Amino acid sequence: MTAVLSLWAWLEIGLVTFVGFFVQAAVWLVSWPFDRRRLAAGRTFRLVGVVAAKLNPFWRFRIAGPASAPVRKTVVVSNHESNADPFLVSFLPWEMKWLGKASVFRIPVVGWMMRMAGDISVERGDSDSAKAAMAVCANWLARGVPVMLFPEGTRSKDGQLLPFKDGAFRLAIDTGADVLPLALAGTREALPKHSWRFGRSEGRVTVGTPISTAGMTLADVESLKARTRAEIERLRARLAAAALTSPTAARLTSP
């Protein structure tokens, strides 16, 4: 039954994405002359993800706690559990440009939508590509648009936080941006790594306290990473504690 429902869920995601592409393309064409920050096209793309997640019979995604939009230029960072993470983070009610693997941008329709949204492509393992991507991120920040990065660089296999890479934190210090930690929970079960089958999941995203980089230099990268990691761990612990008392979670994990 799981295999059959998973096939249906993939079909649903495909259909929502296909229809969403034409909606986003229309929004992009209409808004392009006066919306150079691509806020309308970007939010349309994120809402396509929200619709797809809500129609997935395996998933119950939501925001846990308040989720006010950043009030200044911000580098948003989060733990990374699965390919379902972008669907969950898209529930947050503000637009931000995502740094993503170049291979994803080469996927028909999805890649086109990411480009219309203004997301940033980076070739993994290519230092020149990484530098160029950070320059694009800095440009979005200068326009007042937050950027979203996964500092682990890849999905965690066991749910434990992987070492953080420097890029997001160097970017924040170089541009004087705040770092906004997010924490995700539940998505590792939603779409397990190296599996095409969906799992039943109550995915939750929560927003932490912005960390100012005022007065910091690149010598503070390690301390900023440590502070951000501690905040994400704190948020994850809070989500885990809340899940233990959640009736929905109990139903989702029952035989």
Cα–Cα distance for residue pair 25/124, rounded to 1 Å? 28
Kindly indicate the confidence band of residue 173, based on its pLDDT and cuts at 50, 70 and 90. very high
H helices of the chain, where?
Answer: 2-31, 39-55, 85-89, 102-105, 110-117, 127-142, 167-175, 187-190, 221-244, 247-253
Kindly indicate the confidence band of residue 9, based on its pLDDT and cuts at 50, 70 and 90. very high
Cα–Cα distance for residue pair 52/66, rounded to 1 Å? 23
Which pLDDT value is given to residue 193?
A: 74
pLDDT of residue 254 exceeding 70:
no
Cα–Cα distance for residue pair 148/159, rounded to 1 Å? 20
Regarding the domain delimited by 2-253, which CATH topology (the fold level of the hierarchy) does it fall under? Glycerol-3-phosphate (1)-acyltransferase (3.40.1130)
Helix (H/G/I), strand (E/B), else coil: 182: strand
Instruction: Please state the rounded mean pLDDT for residues 112-119.
Output: 98
pLDDT of residue 5 exceeding 60:
yes
CB 141 within 8 A of CB 175: yes
Cα–Cα distance for residue pair 15/20, rounded to 1 Å? 8
Residues across the chain = 255
Inter-helix orientation angle 110-117/39-55, to 10°: 140
pLDDT in tens, 198-229: 999 999 999 999 999 999 999 999 999 999 99
pTM score of the predicted model: 0.91
Rounded-to-10 torsion of CA 228, 232, 233, 236: 180
- The ranges assigned to domains in the chain are 2-253
